[in-house]
Chains A and B, each alone.
Chain A
Amino acid sequence: MSQYLLSTYTVEDGVPGAPSSPEEMQAFMGRVIALEAEMDESGTFVFGGALHGVDAASVVRPSDADVVVTDGPFAESKEHIAGFYIINAADLDEAMTWAGKVAEATQHPIEIRPFFATGRVADQVHNMPGA
């Protein structure tokens, strides 16, 4: 079993095609809640979340004297991650099936990224060859 990040993005503080009326919002929530229940039943759901806008972001960098904090996100980009799921899936085909469901429920494009490693690094080190 592998883990995949399914993410969606905002464009300049708006999610394209986001629900605009209360009725649309209610329908949107209904679809997403039903999908999350389906993910739970199949043991797919690991974690999920929606993020505040990049205006709320800060970056902390190492420097010689002390760490330095600056306002704003990492990259000056028009697109930023708006929300994500972390899911369990056997392979990319299964992850694609779930990403398709998320895309349909949210009406947003979804990026699929495989995790290289998950969990605590300490746990990884124990499993590493030569440890």
Chain B
Amino acid sequence: MYGQAVATLARVFGDITLAEDAVQDAFVVASDRWPRDGIPPNPAGWIITTARRRAIDDLRRSARGRELHEQLGAVAGGAHPTDDEYWEVDGPVSDDQLRLIFTCCHPALRIEHQVALTLRLLGGLTVDEVARSFLVSESTMAKRLVRAKYKIKAAKIPYRVPADADLPERLRSVLSVVYLIYNTGFDDPQRASLRDDAIRLARSLVQLMPNEPEVAGLLALMLLIESRLPARMEAGELVLLSDQDRTKWDQELIDEGHAVVRACIRRAQPGPFQLQAAIQAVHCAAGSIAATDWPQIIILYNHLYALMPTPVVALNRAIAVAEVEGPQAGLASIDTIAADLDDYHLMHATRAAMLRRLGQRDAARAAYERSARLAATEADRRFLAQQIEALVQDGAPT
């Protein structure tokens, strides 16, 4: 509701800071009145109306207000802001949120600012919550948000859904921000709530843009990754996909993710997020690592690589190749991108596992050790240490 209200007021007044202040005031009034008088029939409408009155009062009082007031006509795109229908909550508000998403994820803002604005203005997190998610102090985050909002206003970053020609690129930037929020929550258990925030944001984006299959693809991708998380750690230790207890996977999330992927396939407008979701869907449909449809996964990675020719995609494809054609073929695929990913711990860990399957224990050990030196999290380092330990036991006389 916070995001809805800010989005509407930002459109009308053309100033995010003014919109936020007014909405916060309205919530303060609500916290006083609602317990006494009861919750109004249309709480979002009540907040927006109250915030609007506050904003107008604020404008009348301040000098900067008169200047803004004169600009109102232009900001409101010609519509008259006193029009009652202008304040309707149902139709226009969702459009307002959509505009605001594209403003928050504008490519002229640095990515940390895009992420912070999106969580604050659309995710409805408090400044303190956003700050804790990014391991900075509340005052640092507050300054970051002020700077970002200053640029939006000073440089006139528009509140507008981009024109068709720019939409695919700008939408990619929005989806990347949401996926980055998810991944930030993935890598650090202390920031796990960011995963829920990202999924919630993706759900509202699907409602706002039902005709963009990549939006649905991103939602499905996150749902399917999320479904397997309950089996990913056991007693604080990382468990590989091949060793996971698949009965722990969240079947409800898998069903939802599969339904979204099927709907994407019917539309036949594939994109990077939809293809990544389809790959996850194949994993989630398999009862075991051996029962996985690896040839299908290779086909999907081929499509993905055609759209997104990155070394990380090639690395993931190599894992599927090793499952179908054996570790030798997998290693040969990795060799083509090993130099590009020399600083990426998962590349060395993947190579190590393949070398181990080929019985090349010394080379496997060296690769695991290199991976452990590059790994960023404690859980990863412990996992790699266990692999090295297991290698030693492989070679022990029986």
Specify which chain B residues have a CB less than 8 angstroms from the CB of A91 in the assembled complex: 156-158
A96 interface residue (CB < 8 Å to B): yes
Which of A95, A96, A130 has the most chain B CB within a 10 Å cutoff? Answer: A96
Beyond A92-B106, A92-B108, A96-B108, is A112–B66 a contact (Cβ under 8 Å)? Answer: no
Within 8 A of B (CB), among A75-131: 90-93, 95-96, 112, 114, 116, 129-130
CA A116 to CA B154, docked complex, whole Å = 7
Specify which chain B residues have a CB less than 8 angstroms from the CB of A2 in the assembled complex: 156
> Which of A90, A114, A129 sits near B155, CB closer than 8 Å?
A114
Specify which chain B residues have a CB less than 8 angstroms from the CB of A114 in the assembled complex: 154-156
Is the Cβ of B154 less than 8 Å from the Cβ of A112?
Answer: no
CA A116 to CA B64, docked complex, whole Å = 14
Is the Cβ of A129 less than 8 Å from the Cβ of B63?
Answer: yes
Specify which chain A residues have a CB less than 8 angstroms from the CB of B63 in the assembled complex: 129-130
B67 interface residue (CB < 8 Å to A): yes
Chain B's closest residue to A129 (CB) is B63
> Which of A92, A116, A130 sits near B157, CB closer than 8 Å?
A92
Within 8 A of A (CB), among B114-166: 154-158, 160, 162, 166
> Which of A93, A96, A116, A129 sits near B67, CB closer than 8 Å?
A129
CA A93 to CA B63, docked complex, whole Å = 29
Specify which chain B residues have a CB less than 8 angstroms from the CB of A90 in the assembled complex: 156, 158
Is the Cβ of B156 less than 8 Å from the Cβ of A129?
Answer: no
Which of A91, A93, A112, A129 has the most chain B CB within a 10 Å cutoff? Answer: A93
CA A96 to CA B107, docked complex, whole Å = 10
Beyond A92-B108, A96-B108, is A129–B158 a contact (Cβ under 8 Å)? Answer: no
The interface residues of chain A, by DSSP majority, are classed as mixed
Chain A's closest residue to B66 (CB) is A129
Specify which chain B residues have a CB less than 8 angstroms from the CB of A93 in the assembled complex: 157-158, 160, 162, 166
- Number of B residues near A (Cβ < 8 Å) is 14
Is the Cβ of A112 less than 8 Å from the Cβ of B155?
Answer: yes
Is the Cβ of B67 less than 8 Å from the Cβ of A92?
Answer: no
CA A102 to CA B193, docked complex, whole Å = 44
Chain A's closest residue to B157 (CB) is A92
CA A93 to CA B162, docked complex, whole Å = 9
Is the Cβ of B158 less than 8 Å from the Cβ of A92?
Answer: yes
CA A89 to CA B64, docked complex, whole Å = 23
Specify which chain A residues have a CB less than 8 angstroms from the CB of B157 in the assembled complex: 91-93
Which of A91, A116, A130 has the most chain B CB within a 10 Å cutoff? Answer: A91
Chain A's closest residue to B160 (CB) is A93
Specify which chain A residues have a CB less than 8 angstroms from the CB of B158 in the assembled complex: 90-93
Chain B's closest residue to A1 (CB) is B74
CA A95 to CA B156, docked complex, whole Å = 10
Specify which chain A residues have a CB less than 8 angstroms from the CB of B162 in the assembled complex: 93
Report the minimal beta-carbon distance from A86 to chain B, rounded to whole angstroms.
15
Using an 8 Å CB-CB cutoff, how does the interface string of A14-46 with B read, 1 for contact, 0 for none? 000000000000000000000000000000000
CA A87 to CA B116, docked complex, whole Å = 31
CA A91 to CA B108, docked complex, whole Å = 12
Using an 8 Å CB-CB cutoff, how does the interface string of B157-194 with A read, 1 for contact, 0 for none? 11010100010000000000000000000000000000
Specify which chain A residues have a CB less than 8 angstroms from the CB of B160 in the assembled complex: 93
CA A116 to CA B67, docked complex, whole Å = 14
CA A6 to CA B183, docked complex, whole Å = 36
Specify which chain A residues have a CB less than 8 angstroms from the CB of B156 in the assembled complex: 2, 90-92, 114
CA A2 to CA B64, docked complex, whole Å = 18
Chain B's closest residue to A97 (CB) is B166
Report the minimal beta-carbon distance from A130 to chain B, rounded to whole angstroms.
6
Specify which chain B residues have a CB less than 8 angstroms from the CB of A95 in the assembled complex: 155
CA A96 to CA B155, docked complex, whole Å = 11
Specify which chain B residues have a CB less than 8 angstroms from the CB of A96 in the assembled complex: 108
CA A112 to CA B154, docked complex, whole Å = 12
Specify which chain B residues have a CB less than 8 angstroms from the CB of A129 in the assembled complex: 63-64, 66-67
Chain A's closest residue to B108 (CB) is A92
Report the minimal beta-carbon distance from A93 to chain B, rounded to whole angstroms.
6
Which of B106, B154, B155 has the most chain A CB within a 10 Å cutoff? Answer: B155
CA A112 to CA B67, docked complex, whole Å = 24
| Residues of B participating in the A interface, judged by any CB pair closer than 8 Å | 63-64, 66-67, 106, 108, 154-158, 160, 162, 166
Beyond known contacts A93-B166, A112-B108: 14 more, CB 8 A cutoff: A90-B156, A91-B156, A92-B106, A92-B108, A92-B155, A92-B157, A93-B157, A93-B160, A93-B162, A112-B155, A114-B154, A129-B64, A129-B66, A130-B63
> What are 7 A-B contacts defined by CB distance under 8 Å?
A91-B157, A91-B158, A92-B156, A92-B158, A112-B108, A112-B155, A130-B63
Q: Top 5 A-B pairs ranked by shortest CB distance?
A: A129-B63, A91-B156, A91-B158, A114-B155, A92-B155
